[in-house]
Chain A
Amino acid sequence: MSSPILIDNVQKVFKTPGGDVVALKDINLTIQPGEFVCLLGPSGCGKSTLLNAVAGFQPPSDGQIVIAQKTIRSPGPDRGMVFQEYALFPWMTVGQNIAFGLEVQKKEKAEIDLVVNQLLDLLHLKDFRDRFPKDLSGGMRQRVAIARVLALDSPIMLMDEPFGALDALTRRNLQDELLRIWEKLGKTILFVTHSIEESIYLADRIVVMTYRPGTVKRDQVVDMPRPRDPASPAFNDLKRELGRLVMEEQQRHADAEMKLAAVD
């Protein structure tokens, strides 16, 4: 059932009026079933582009992404995505949002109810079933978005800076929830973030990416038992090391912007 994600020599070029922009270049990665992988880098490093390619929203210009012997060309419920902007349907209640993916698959009503109830329990959303998203806090909305994806029971979860808009405490709370769910359900998670600490707290493996063209700068295994202590020496050693790598790319990003500004 579970299959690795094979990212095979992926390139992505965006055609713009100012010329071609190479967003991704020579990306080769294999993500094992059940693995929690973070894509880390400054904005413009192509980490979201890579995630969108795996999701099937923007297929690569060259190379391919293969899951279960199939090349990914379009989005599908086997790769549930959690967006930074939540992307809940505001006209549906919490319960309806979670049920929607199952209704699309024409599941039985009884089965849908069962799954929705389980997920409401799992994410502590029981009292919010009939609320509309506008009545929920950011953290609550993101719980619903996670439940909506879990309802699909897809082996792979894609997360695009899902906690980026949340305050620090809510963020830590949801990170712990996510780890709990991941350990319980054994999903493969590909998680985009620009927070070094978040990536070390969560991931089995951190892929640091370079600024334009986006390539793999470092493929770092995080060999620390969970729950991880952000105050521990090992955590901070890794944080310092990855911080150095990310800042190099951030500097290239800043230089590139300065150059652009100078041309204008």
Chain B
Amino acid sequence: MHKIKDFAQGALVPVLVLILWEACSRAGLFSAVVMPAPSAVAAKWWAYLLPAQAQEAGQSWLAWAFSGELLHDAYSSLYRVIAGFLIGAGLALPLGLLMGANTRIYALFNPLMQILRPIPPIAYIPLAILWFGLGNPPSFFLIAIGAFFPVLMNTIAGVRQVDGIYLRAARNLGVGQWTMFTRVILPAATPYILAGVRIGIGTAFIVVIVSEMIAVNDGLGFRILEAREFMWSDKIIAGMITIGLLGLAIDTAVSRLNNHLLRWHRGLEH
């Protein structure tokens, strides 16, 4: 009962906005090319989702169901986000652990990181094309840069804030350096690292849309730019809504993962 009430309350404002928007469109307040009605957007989204052709002979049902443009684009974007994120975070995590744990390594690398960090990933676009040409590689590169710094900075902070009492307790139990790192420092730093992962995934998702506007011919970012060339504003908005839904799905997944990995953490109740 509570859930229904909460849902109704949450849906109230969006529904009102949609009704107002639909009413304005039907009254002819703005041109359909500039601002299509929500019903038109929904119809376009549905068409965009469904397979473009009839099922071919020999084609499996699943393959056919996923042959629609939207699902293909969403898959391409998601693939780029995950691959780019894994590259960026995979480099940031070990470097962050080392920089957090060792003041000499920190002193060596920190100046370079501080110079590179403020450069937005988008500023790397020209270099990315020059170095990697077209296709997926420049996207991976840009996304990796976007994910790298949030994970790096949070990992360093996470290692540095590890409470000295855990280190003392572990030393008292006879723990050596490697075990200290893997079984004490790393788990103690996970709340920070995972916060960095969440920010990093968010950045990766912003960057993937931008990167698809320059160098590839599929993905949600490409699709909305392509739609603009044909003045298909309904498709642009349908694509944007898909981007929003995919982002929400990614964030929900990461947040679930967080809750599982941090089930021991005091601040989290589930």
Contacts and interface: CB of A to CB of B under 8 A. Distances in A.
Contacts, number: 64
A80 B179 contact: no
B265 A83 contact: no
Interface stretch (B19-27, B168-176, B212-220, B230-238): B168-176
Contacts of A1: none
A213 interface: no
Contact of A91 (B170, B179, B190): B190
Contact of B172 (A55, A85, A88, A90): A55
23 contacts: A55-B172, A74-B171, A75-B174, A76-B172, A76-B174, A81-B169, A81-B172, A83-B165, A87-B165, A87-B166, A87-B169, A89-B166, A89-B188, A90-B264, A90-B265, A91-B188, A91-B265, A101-B173, A104-B179, A105-B174, A132-B263, A134-B264, A148-B173
A14 interface: no
Q: From DSSP, what is the main secondary structure of chain B's interface residues? A: helix
Given A83-B168, A104-B175, 11 more contacts: A74-B171, A77-B174, A83-B169, A89-B188, A91-B187, A91-B265, A92-B264, A100-B173, A100-B183, A104-B176, A132-B263
B208 to A, nearest CB: 32
Interface residues of B, number: 21
B184 interface: yes
B264 A77 contact: no
Nearest to B267: A134
A158 to B, nearest CB: 8
A152 interface: yes
Interface residues on A, range: 20 to 34
A90 B162 CA distance: 12
Nearest to B269: A134
Contact of A80 (B166, B172, B175, B264): B172
Nearest to B188: A91
Nearest to A74: B171
A79 interface: yes
A105 B176 CA distance: 10
Contacts of B265: 90-91, 134
Q: Which of A80, A87, A133 has the most CB of B within 10 A?
A: A87
Complex A-B, nearest 3 residue pairs according to Cβ-Cβ distance, in ascending order: A77-B174, A87-B169, A101-B173
Q: Which of B175, B263, B264 has the most CB of A within 10 A?
A: B264
A152 B173 CA distance: 8
A89 B263 contact: no
